Structure 1
């Protein structure tokens, strides 16, 4: 198979640096929230804020890319995020919980843009290289898994208020990210095809393959976000495990989210998208069993490893499957709808995670996720021929 083009590697390296915003917020958002929030039940609101911001920004970002092109949109949003990261640092410095949440919601615009990297990579390659391009870009998340928590810890004591320096370091990462993404080049496409209006969304969403792609990615993200967002609060605040142990569990989880990307293209070629996504659902099921059975560091670590693997198989499976539902001239509106549904659901999961774990405890939070696994399972079985 021919090598991947420069665009794919530029996007992967950019994601490695800038997706650290998500891992940083997952790690410290609940901890900062526990100190600043007027109520402990609002502790995970900062984490939820970035996800809500991502969900709200998905459609505007897609429209910007259609109007101005991917490269210009990427660069403008990255530059904007440098300023917003500094605003987040300032909000911690003045101890403003709601300004902190607002700044993280604005960083969601950047995350919405970063989530388009996989589509930009897929458009840069031939059809046979689509699974490899998508998984290669997501490999950048492995580095982000370490970079985000490390700059969180490294910047914690830089200034008087804990974690203020962490967001200043994040701003510097986005400066480097801007330089890297400046090497990305827009992909030339058939102007006649892209200028044509294409089918209306009402027709596109009637396809079973569309719903299978969306529901698998959507439920994979919801289950992952629900458990992941609650983990630092349950583990560090409620169970008293150390910050280092909590960092290790979150880092391991994010590595597990992206490390399987080394193999997913090969897995798809050998067993098909359907069987890979079914394996992801199985990983989720085992994750829930481990998480339910105890509160030791090993229980958190093992369950979040499997949580990451399950997410990867469902998300990459859904991403790879989605182009079967649209033509090239329909891609922006379908991708925008896909992203809005995925991250809107993830936002609901993240918003409720802190409330649920505080109100009913870790075990009941785990039980709540069980019925969610039936949704992607049913979608896969219903369209088993289309997902082969």
Structure 2
């Protein structure tokens, strides 16, 4: 197993990466949020059929899935900083394309822009690995949590800025929202210019290491990938369906939908204040089980009603469960692989995670319209039972130092 070669041989110098990554997360995390928040409502008017309302969000996830391996490969060749800046550039292009699609009332162009947002998010999701590479292995879970906490700032700033700008173009509501998102991506690219390299060029481009087949056979990678796939799959399935159900099935106001989704996003990232410390204390597998149980509780809430408070409680639990399960899986992965194996394992993991998410998100719109809100929620319980069973049985191999 090859060891990573830290630049200048000094981890403390790389600690400055953490606030840079947190700020970049705040600025570039608004793209996918805008698609989730406005995509369903816009698509009910732009799409030829209401059941296609979740298509833009689903295509954003497809864009993530298709871009995970290219993003990892690009950063292996060019380095983390240049790769992440390129990802922010894709986000700028996506913002402009979505704004233009709204002006032209083009559902097809809006879907294309949403897919580009997904491609950009594939790069943004790499922030957590860069954070882990910038600290000692025993502090990796805390560094990952801090960067995910940047999503809290994104949840506060992004939706509010987008909502404030939705009437910039009087005849084309929400076009201004995506223009503001493009501005946030531009600021994010500027911040990423200050990022320090986390490994030497020789280390990042070195050949050798385990083959893809060997990596896939490792229980460690399979457990990490399953936790990410379940976390993102369940969260995306329910979160994508929620605005459509609130708008079409139960006729809640735009303000109520915005507040509920924003609360959900806050719940996704606010636990990062303490998730890293919990993982360090009780271990990754225990946190995977807790996260799965919170996701199950979110589904059960739907049995008690469909008023705004029921949606709010369910989606807050959904966000918290995602945070625990996803952070635990990421920590397991980030502290185990080094050298050439690092980029391959991360690419494989994210490909599995976001491909699974893409598959389930395509079904969200159909499920919530055909099955209703309750059965859409309850359908995820078997998958969560599988996750609990796997986390309780798999024994993690000893952590391999990444430096």
TM-score band, normalised by shorter chain = over 0.9
Instruction: Give the equivalent residue in structure 1 for 2:7.
Output: none
| Residue number among 212, 221, 225 corresponding to 1:214 in the alignment | 225
- Structure 2 residue 354 is the aligned partner of structure 1 residue 349: no
- Structure 2 residue 15 is the aligned partner of structure 1 residue 13: no
Instruction: Give the equivalent residue in structure 1 for 2:4.
Output: none
- Structure 2 residue 46 is the aligned partner of structure 1 residue 67: no
TM-score when normalising by structure 2: 0.92
CA positional deviation for 1:206: 1.4
Q: Which runs of 5+ in 2 are unaligned?
A: 1-11
| Residue number among 283, 298, 308 corresponding to 2:294 in the alignment | 283
CA contact (8 A) 1:62 1:335 kept: yes
Post-superposition CA distance 1:77-102 (Å, at most 9, x none)? 32232132111100010000011001
Q: How does 1:114-133 map to 2 (within 5 A)?
A: 114-133=124-143
- Structure 2 residue 227 is the aligned partner of structure 1 residue 227: no
Q: How does 1:108-187 map to 2 (within 5 A)?
A: 108-159=118-169, 160-187=171-198
CA contact (8 A) 2:225 2:353 kept: yes
Post-superposition CA distance 1:111-148 (Å, at most 9, x none)? 00000000011111111110111000000000111223
Please identify, of 192-201 and 56-65, the stretch whose mean Cα deviation from structure 2 is larger: 192-201
TM-score when normalising by structure 1: 0.96
CA contact (8 A) 2:95 2:182 kept: yes
CA contact (8 A) 2:265 2:319 kept: yes
Please identify, of 193-202 and 228-237, the stretch whose mean Cα deviation from structure 2 is larger: 193-202
Instruction: Give the equivalent residue in structure 2 for 1:317.
Output: 328
Q: In 1, Cα distance between the equivalents of 2:180 and 2:397?
A: 45
Kindly tell me the number of residue pairs found equivalent between the two proteins. Answer: 388
- Structure 2 residue 54 is the aligned partner of structure 1 residue 44: yes
Q: In 2, Cα distance between the equivalents of 1:187 and 1:326?
A: 14
RMSD: 1.9
CA positional deviation for 1:285: 1.5
Q: In 1, Cα distance between the equivalents of 2:276 and 2:334?
A: 15
Q: How does 1:198-213 map to 2 (within 5 A)?
A: 198-213=209-224
Q: In 1, Cα distance between the equivalents of 2:240 and 2:131?
A: 28
Q: In 2, Cα distance between the equivalents of 1:191 and 1:246?
A: 49
CA positional deviation for 1:293: 2.0
CA positional deviation for 1:302: 0.5
Instruction: Give the equivalent residue in structure 2 for 1:77.
Output: 87
